[in-house]
């Protein structure tokens, strides 16, 4: 809460209506900026109770509607912020924090952000995710994902057993998540001074903050490298799998039944396909005459395909019969060995 009377305690200001109005408008500007940038979206108004006085309610006011000399005083600080290479979210929060005139209010805002930080999975609280050189225990980790625009962005999670330190990690998690590694690497840690947050930090906590940002930058690079490696491995696996698939066969003259069966079996995208005509081994047996045009009657099939994954032996045979269709009625016998790669 902002105590309006803290900046109106001089009699001289009471005697000068113009100065009084300007001071009040500056307070309203700072308050609206803070409420619109830092507090939850659903909070569009707030109530300030003056000591021993009636309540004063401030409705949500557009900054474009407020023209005071406070805007002129912010021009130089805006230039400083522009040179810090901040992400859009960090720039917004830096401006909001720097507009708060009271150190105690900034401190409370950090504690508020700490309470809003999403909990971190305990499985991620491991030594490799621990930030060194902090007075409190701090953990941070991230993942690299593709956003709607096809860019690879980094999303962070973090936690700390110290409430103020947790507020700092919450500030960084919120400010850096959803950004590209290039954006994250450009962030100048001096923004913490421009935001006036350093006024609430001891030298030890300030060093801890610098370590947090450094670790998060390093984590972003590691996540991107890991993501690239995973994609390369997936591409290589897919390429390898595709290269193993048999797509053609050499036709045999005067063996129409064999050629017809091979065309059908290629639909299973096999990595191994051996179809052997054993008709000559059954000469003189019933059905050995086979198909009238070529005398093909008995075949032995060995096929390996991922299409059989999760299927029982009978179901695999039924699938092959279905693919061969009318061809099955033209031969006397078909011996089948149908497996997946894992079963070979």
pLDDT at 53: 38
Burial 319-331 (b: 16+ CB within 10 A, else e): bbeebbeebeebb
3-state secondary structure of 44: coil
**Chain segment 34-53, per-residue pLDDT in tens:** 554 544 433 333 333 333 43
Distance of alpha carbon 313 from alpha carbon 309, whole angstroms: 10
pLDDT at 32: 54
pLDDT at 235: 53
Catalytic annotation present for 21: no
Q: Which of 21, 134, 142, 179 is catalytic?
A: 134
**Chain segment 59-76, per-residue pLDDT in tens:** 333 334 333 334 434 444
Count CB neighbours of 300 within 10 A: 15
- Let me know: does 303 contact 323? Beta carbons within 8 Å: no
pLDDT at 99: 92
Distance of alpha carbon 113 from alpha carbon 104, whole angstroms: 14
Is the pTM higher than 0.75? The answer reads no
pLDDT at 280: 82
pLDDT at 51: 37
Q: How high is the mean pLDDT in each 10-residue block of the chain (344 residues)?
A: 42 56 66 52 35 36 37 49 91 93 92 95 94 93 89 94 95 96 94 92 91 94 75 53 80 90 92 91 59 77 93 92 86 92 90
**Kind and range of the H or E element at 98?**
helix 88-99
Handedness of CA 318, 319, 321, 326 (dihedral sign): positive
pLDDT at 34: 54
Closest-CA residue to 295 (of 285, 275, 280, 284) = 280
**Kind and range of the H or E element at 338?**
strand 333-339
pLDDT at 237: 52
């Amino acid at each position: 809460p902002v105590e309006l009377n803290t900046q109106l305690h001089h009699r001289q200001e009471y005697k000068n209506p113009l100065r009084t109005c300007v001071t009040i408008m500056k307070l309203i500007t700072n308050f609206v900026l803070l409420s619109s940038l830092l507090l939850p979206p659903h909070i569009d108004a707030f109530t300030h109770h003056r000591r021993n006085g009636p309540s004063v309610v401030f409705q949500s006011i557009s900054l474009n509607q407020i023209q005071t000399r406070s805007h002129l005083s912010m021009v130089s600080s805006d230039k400083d912020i522009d040179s810090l290479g901040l992400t859009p979210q960090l720039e917004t929060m830096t401006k909001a924090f720097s507009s708060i005139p009271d150190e105690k209010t900034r401190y409370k805002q950090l504690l508020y952000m700490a309470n809003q930080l999403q909990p971190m999975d305990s499985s991620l609280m491991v030594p490799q995710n621990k930030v060194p050189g902090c007075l409190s225990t701090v953990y941070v980790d991230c993942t690299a994902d593709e956003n709607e625009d096809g860019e690879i962005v980094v999303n962070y999670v973090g936690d700390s057993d110290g409430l103020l330190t947790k507020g700092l990690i919450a500030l960084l998690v919120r400010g850096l998540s959803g950004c590209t590694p290039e954006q994250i690497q450009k962030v100048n840690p001096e923004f913490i001074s421009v935001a006036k947050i350093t006024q609430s930090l001891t030298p030890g906590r300030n060093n801890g903050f610098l370590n947090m940002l450094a670790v998060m930058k390093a984590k972003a690079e590691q996540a991107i490298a890991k993501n690239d490696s995973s994609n390369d491995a997936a591409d290589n696996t897919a390429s390898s799998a595709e290269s193993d698939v048999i797509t053609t066969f050499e036709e045999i003259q005067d063996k129409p039944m064999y050629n017809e069966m091979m065309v059908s079996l290629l639909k299973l995208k096999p990595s191994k396909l051996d179809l052997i005509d054993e008709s000559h081994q059954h000469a003189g047996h019933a059905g050995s005459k086979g198909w009238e045009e070529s005398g093909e009657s008995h075949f032995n099939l060995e096929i390996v395909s991922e299409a059989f994954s999760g299927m029982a032996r009978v179901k695999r045979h039924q699938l092959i019969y279905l693919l061969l269709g009318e061809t099955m009625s033209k031969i006397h016998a078909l011996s089948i060995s149908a497996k997946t790669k894992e079963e070979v």
